[in-house]
Every structure is written in structure tokens, then in C-alpha cells.
Amino acid sequence: MRTYLVTGGAGFIGSNYIHYMLKKYGNEIRIVNVDALTYAGNLENLREVEDLDNYTFIKADICDKEAIGKIFAENDIDRVVHFAAESHVDRSIKEPEVFVKTNVLGTAVMLNCAKAAWENADGSFKEGKKFLHVSTDEVYGSLENDGEYFYETTPYAPHSPYSASKASSDMLVRAYMDTYKFPANITNCSNNYGPYQFPEKLIPLIINNALQGKKLPVYGDGKNVRDWLYVEDHAKAIDMVQEKGRLFETYNIGGHNEKQNIEIVEIIIETLQEMLKEDDPRRALVSKDLITYVEDRKGHDRRYAIAPDKIKAEIGWEPETMFAEGIRKTIAWFFEHEEWMKNVTSGSYQEYYKKMYQI
Ligand code: NAD
Ligand code: DAU
């Protein structure tokens, strides 16, 4: 039975990944989820799996080397999938230091503890051990012209404190691979959307505000472009990279699903209007009149677009969920999980931790 150490598994992508993996592999794998439960970590995301014998949650900070070392000592970890990070660009502009601490120092601690646990006396590594570092397309900077794409060879040019901290963490992983032949991969993915996404990010924020008739803030001219990927497709790609990818390689994940922010907002409004029943009182609230252009994000990257050629050619992965389908699935999920959204926006999920874990 293979054991996975997943960091940041109580967050958006990490929890989707855990659900995906437990559905796919069942009892063939064991998952140890390590998360500090910051504002972005929510154990409600994992309620359906929390009682499984092959799933364990440990509350720990990835910067705490004693705690992480102990987890490696007490569990024979085969795979690390490292999601834990501060992930929101706007927060990084207001408060950069925590991004440096978690994303850079935290990654260094994870690498060092994995290395200590997996290294043989002669400096080689135990058979089959693998570390996957989950990173972002934002490390490549901003594209100005249509037809340009981010490739694995595109030079790093991060602009925000968030992307600079992720770029630094990627460089550390590269340094471990180059210096020690540490068995790792890096994945750089585009914007994700789907169930359990915290409503500080564009798509869940727009869905939540629109349903309450609140203003829909669009930064700048609304024409910045992001390349949107349904989160389950990302989870599948990560698994495929660990199973089929070549060690020491970087793989870009994304896939020609570029949209301007204003298009995203308009699609969400139209889809909500289609999906809400005639007699649903929220239907009258959802309107394009709610769109409000606000001050632009500082240093706002204009366009991101991934060329997923390498992962397709070497591993056979490509995105399966087209945006029209993915956004309907996402909205349907939010309709079915109104309580989740209420708890997240009211902060009452933090009460739940206190009750469940005395933390
Ligand atoms: P998220 O903010 O939803 O979740 C982050 C998780 O990490 C939370 O559960 C949080 O509690 C945990 N965490 C934060 N600091 C920690 C610490 N010091 N120790 C332990 N746990 C800690 O983030 P997300 O959107 O799920 O992103 C996950 C990863 O994927 C990040 O590394 C991010 O850079 C990367 N990524 C995200 C996207 C995206 O669109 N969301 C795209 C590409 C890459
Ligand atoms: O590209 C991958 C990155 O995608 C990840 O590495 C990050 O962790 C993730 O947060 C995301 O970063 P973005 O900054 O692209 O995502 P966000 O949802 O914050 O914003 C998407 C776009 O929408 C961006 O151009 C800013 C704009 N925006 C965002 C918000 C929250 C608005 O216009 N209004 C808003 O209220």
C-alpha cells in the first residue's frame, strides 16, 4: 500500500485531489493530509473521507521542521504532493512576508525532511520515492500578445509577491534535483475553478455575490486573460505526472481555455439565469447591472496561457472538461452546498475545528 503525504489538503485543490485519489485508488493507497488550517484550509471539504481508515489528518505547519520530521519518521511516506501555500495574489500585495515564509521556507522544510527520510548512506535515494511540487503559471510573468504561450523553457519573470515566492520555491526544488538528484517533479498549472474554491477568488466570488444581488467587482478594464482549468482535470494531471512523468522534469498544465475576466463574469451571470428556476427569488437579483469596474490590481499581469504540449506528448494528459460544462458543474455544486458557502463566509467553519480538534 503506497502512502501519500499531501500538504495543504484542506485547501481548494488539495481537497479535490484527495477526493480524486481516494475515488480512483480506494484502499490501494493511504493519505496523510498535513495542513496548518489557515483561513483557506477547511476540514468541511473532507467530511466525506474523514472516517476512512486509509485517510489521516494532521494539523501542522510546513515551516515547523520538528513536526514535519516527525511525520516522516512515523509514516513510511512514498509520495509527497506539496500543495500547501499562501495562494491569493491580492493578499500577497498587502502582506508579502507570510508568502515568503510559507511558500519559500515551508518548501525548504518539506524538501529537507523528505531528503533526510529518503536518502541512503551513499547519497542515492530509496527506490520509488517521489516528491511533486505544485506550482503555478504565474512564475512565467505576463504575456502581451495573442499567440504567445508559456512553455516549460519560458524564463521565469514573476511580478507579484505571490508569484515571486512560488518562483523561489520552484528554484529550491530545482536546486535539490540538480544538487542531490532528489527525486522530484514540478508542475506549473493555470487558473483552477470548481468545488470548494474559497470565495476570495474570481469565480466563486462572482457566483456568491451575484446570487445575493451584490456588486461584481471587475479589476481595471476587465480584459486580463486567464487560462481556466477544471480542478478535477488538474488532480488527474498531478497523478499522471507522478505515475508516468520523467523524474526531474517540469510539466505545464492547462489548456487553451483562455478567457477575459469580463467574459467569465458574463458567462457566470448567463449560466446562473439559465440554471435558477423561474420561482427562485434569487433569479431577480442576478443581473449584468451588478458588474462594477473597480481600481486595477497593482502590477496586474495581463495574460496567462499555457502550452500543454509536453504533458500531452509524454504523458497523454489533456484537459477533459470544457469551460461551458465545468462552470455548470461548479455552479450546480455551489447550489447544493449553500451551507458550505455560508460557513466559509461567516467564519463558522473555524468553530467546527475547535469542536472537532480542540484547536
Ligand atoms: P488554497 O489557498 O485554497 O489552499 C492552501 C492550503 O494550504 C490551505 O488548506 C491552507 O490551510 C494550507 N496552508 C497554508 N499555509 C500552510 C502552512 N504554513 N503549513 C501547512 N499548511 C498550510 O490554495 P489552492 O488554490 O488550493 O492552491 C494549492 C496549490 O496550488 C498552491 O501551491 C498554489 O500555489 C498552487 N496553484 C493554485 C492554482 C489555483 O488556481 N488555485 C493554480 C496553479 C497552482
Ligand atoms: O494562474 C494560476 C493562479 O491563479 C494561481 O497560482 C493562484 O493561486 C490563483 O489564485 C490564481 O491567481 P489569479 O490572480 O489569476 O486569480 P484570481 O481569482 O484572484 O483572479 C483572476 C482574475 O480576475 C485576475 O485577472 C484578477 C481578476 N479579479 C479577481 C478578483 C478576486 C477581478 O477582476 N475581480 C476580483 O474580485
pLDDT tens, 220-239? Answer: 999 999 999 999 999 999 99
* Cβ–Cβ < 8 Å for 229, 189: yes
Per cent of the chain over pLDDT 70 is 98
Please tell me the pTM assigned to this model.
0.97
Judged on CB neighbours under 10 Å (0-12, 13-18, 19+), 57 is buried
Strand pairing report for 258-260 and 225-227: antiparallel
Query: How many Cβ atoms are within 10 Å of 172's Cβ, its own excluded?
Result: 18
Catalytic residue, from 138, 227, 232, 239: name it: 138
Task: Please tell me the distance between residue 285's alpha carbon and the centre of ligand 1 in angstroms.
Answer: 32
Give catalytic status of residue 162 as yes or no.
yes
The backbone torsions φ and ψ at residue 2, rounded to the nearest 5 degrees and listed phi first, read: -85, 140
Report which protein residue has its CA nearest ligand 2's atom 30: 202
Give per-residue pLDDT as tens, 95-148.
Answer: 999 999 999 999 999 999 999 999 999 999 999 999 999 999 999 999 988 889
Helix, strand, or coil here: 54?
A: coil
**What confidence score (pLDDT) does residue 346 get?**
86
In short, whether 330's Cβ falls inside 6 Å of ligand 2 is no
**What confidence score (pLDDT) does residue 199 get?**
93
Report which protein residue has its CA nearest ligand 2's atom 23: 202
**What confidence score (pLDDT) does residue 358 get?**
62
pLDDT mean across residues, the chain: 96
Report which residue type is found at 125.
F
Task: Please tell me the distance between residue 85's alpha carbon and the centre of ligand 1 in angstroms.
Answer: 4
Helix, strand, or coil here: 136?
A: strand
**What confidence score (pLDDT) does residue 213 get?**
96
Give catalytic status of residue 180 as yes or no.
no
Give per-residue pLDDT as tens, 301-336.
Answer: 999 999 999 999 999 999 999 999 999 999 999 999
* Confidence class for position 93, pLDDT limits 50, 70, 90: very high
Task: Please tell me the distance between residue 346's alpha carbon and the centre of ligand 2 in angstroms.
Answer: 22
Judge whether residue 359 has pLDDT over 60.
no
Nine-digit cell string for 262: 469580463
In a mutational test of the pocket of ligand 1, which residue from 12, 89, 109, 137 has the highest number of ligand atoms less than 8 Å from its CB? 12
Q: Give the C-alpha distances (Å, rounded to integers) separating 11 from 66, 75, 248, 297.
A: 23, 22, 26, 24
Task: Please tell me the distance between residue 100's alpha carbon and the centre of ligand 1 in angstroms.
Answer: 13
Among all bound ligands, the one having the nearest atom to the CA of 192 is 1
Among all bound ligands, the one having the nearest atom to the CA of 33 is 1
Residue with cell 500531452: 312
